[in-house]
Amino acid sequence: MIEILLFVQAVASSAMCGLIWFVQVVHYPLFGLLDGEPSKAFATAHQDRTARVVIPFMLAEGAAAFFLAVWPPAGVPRLVAVIGAVIVAAIWLSTAAVQMPLHRRLAREGHGAAAVAALVRSNWLRTVLWSLRAALSVWMLQ
């Protein structure tokens, strides 16, 4: 069972790491090219479609991180597993408290330069944290 959790964690964390780097470097900066009413519809569609992709990975990663923090596998110090779970919690907190409100703002007001810049700037935290999660999850496989 532990091997399955380690595998699920590594797949989910690595998938989110790749996705967040694409979003950070390509997708979010392109939001600045949008303007007016069509940008509001785009923002809403972006949220709906992105949720379908990221929610399963985030839930799998969160569940695996929690169980591994409670029952760390042999060779993985409990502190390392707990740090992994804390990183997941920080990502979720940032998503709920910062990125989701910014996305709602984009859907309500359109893709103004200030909102897009705030989204790109604030998303660096999740980009760094998911990069750490992916590295940690791969290390835990060994």
Cα 71 to Cα 61, 76, 78, 90, 141, distances in angstroms? 15, 10, 8, 20, 14
Element (H, E) at 134: helix 113-141
The candidate with the shortest Cα–Cα distance to 87, out of 131, 121, 51, is: 131
pTM: 0.93
Q: What is the pLDDT of residue 142?
A: 84
Residue 133 burial class via C-beta count within 10 angstroms: exposed 0-12, middle 13-18, buried 19 and up: buried
Give pLDDT tens digits for 23-67.
999 999 999 999 888 899 999 999 999 999 999 999 999 999 999
